[in-house]
């Protein structure tokens, strides 16, 4: 088990290094000059050259990459080109909002998705067909489009929920429950958007996993004993079907983070996704690199936690054995 964790940790580090390296060169080769954006169209060629030299952007790309990697490894994330603020402070303000949004979405999408998948397995064919159409549709919808439709429905038509930001303009004067309710109202639409997308994929996967488990002999034995469909699903099918579902958790984290980037941009949610979009638009290289690195690390940690969850549920994984394995 320890050897497996070590191998997957090394593989995760390789993923982080690969993502960071690819991002570094792609963002610098993309059109756009951060110095021109910073100094404006009135800047002279001499001023532009002096600013590029001060930022180290006139050096060869491999030298810039090596310098950035060495500084980042020491904990020096640099300063934002656009604002001049330390990158660590900028992302430190944004990470909690993203963790809140993605974490709650992950919990809700898996709880609801597993419940919907179990209902499809136990319900009749008409309910199964209706829920299948619904979950496939949700899974296929682009996150930014779904977010905009929710804004149109619940903000502009109904006027029930705010569309942008994490708090109202009067948040500083609110206290206690009033402040918390204001925060929950601002969280509702971005959280609903991410959750609906997650529910679609999780429900489809949970349904397939439960149907596979239901064909196993031990489930047929439980049915022969006279247990109700709910008892069979709850006691025998659900636990065994959780193993591939938890594996899906690790695989879904990258997609969830990428969806969060677009959703945060749509709802002006003050998280890493919004900061990343703004940094890419401004060619703010230090912020782009730090945000990409932190996101990649969070994704790898999520995969490791998913592996730990599978090992906790399945003793064969914990002890390094599986059917047909060594």
Mean pLDDT of the 5-18 span: 82
Whether 192 has a pLDDT exceeding 90, the answer reads: yes
Average pLDDT, the chain: 82
Res 322 pLDDT > 60 = no
Q: How far apart are CA 296 and CA 6, in angstroms?
A: 18
Q: What is the chain's alpha carbon radius of gyration, rounded to the nearest angstrom? A: 24
**How confident is the model over 258-301, as pLDDT tens digits?**
778 888 888 988 888 888 888 888 889 999 998 888 888 877 88
pLDDT exceeds cutoff 50 at 324: no
Global pTM? 0.78
Domains, the chain: 94-318 (1.10.3720.10)
DSSP assignment letter at 165: S
pLDDT band for 167, please (50, 70, 90 cuts): confident
User: CA-CA distance, 127 to 146, in Å (whole number)?
Assistant: 24
Q: Is 85 helix (H, G, I), strand (E, B) or coil?
A: coil
Which pLDDT value is given to residue 325? 41
Which whole number is the average pLDDT over 219-246?
Answer: 72
Burial class (CB in 10 A: 0-12, 13-18, 19+), 247: middle
Q: What's the pLDDT tens digit per position in 59-97?
A: 899 999 999 888 888 888 888 888 888 998 888 888 888
Find, among 38, 7, 69, the residue nearest to 320 by Cα: 7
């Amino acid at each position: 088990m320890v050897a497996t964790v070590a191998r997957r940790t090394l593989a995760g580090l390789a993923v982080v290094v690969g993502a960071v390296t690819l991002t570094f060169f792609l963002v610098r080769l993309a059109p756009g000059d951060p110095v021109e954006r910073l100094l404006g169209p009135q800047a002279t060629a001499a001023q532009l050259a002096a600013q590029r030299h001060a930022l180290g952007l006139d050096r060869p790309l491999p030298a810039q990459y090596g310098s950035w990697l060495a500084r980042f490894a020491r904990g020096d994330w640099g300063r934002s080109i656009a604002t001049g603020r330390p990158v660590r402070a900028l992302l430190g303000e944004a990470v909690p909002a993203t963790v809140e949004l993605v974490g709650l979405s992950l919990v809700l999408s898996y709880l609801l998705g597993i419940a919907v998948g179990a209902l499809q397995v136990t319900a009749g064919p008409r309910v199964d067909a209706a829920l299948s159409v619904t979950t496939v549709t949700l899974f296929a919808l682009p996150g930014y489009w779904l977010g905009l439709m929710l804004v149109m429905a619940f903000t502009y038509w109904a006027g029930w929920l705010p569309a942008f930001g994490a708090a109202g303009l009067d948040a500083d004067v609110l206290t206690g429950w009033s402040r918390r309710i204001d925060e929950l109202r601002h969280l509702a639409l971005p959280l609903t958007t991410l959750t609906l997308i997650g529910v679609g994929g999780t429900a489809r996967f949970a349904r397939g996993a439960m149907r596979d488990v239901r064909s196993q002999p031990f489930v047929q034995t439980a049915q022969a004993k006279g247990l109700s469909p709910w008892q069979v699903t709850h006691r025998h099918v659900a636990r065994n079907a959780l193993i591939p579902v938890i594996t899906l958790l690790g695989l879904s984290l990258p997609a969830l983070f990428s969806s969060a980037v677009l959703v945060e941009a749509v709802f002006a949610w003050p998280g890493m996704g919004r900061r990343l979009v703004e940094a890419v638009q401004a060619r703010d290289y230090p912020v782009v690199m730090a945000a990409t690195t932190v996101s990649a690390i969070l994704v790898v940690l999520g995969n490791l936690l998913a592996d730990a969850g599978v090992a906790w549920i399945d003793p064969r994984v914990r002890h390094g054995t599986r059917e047909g394995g060594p």
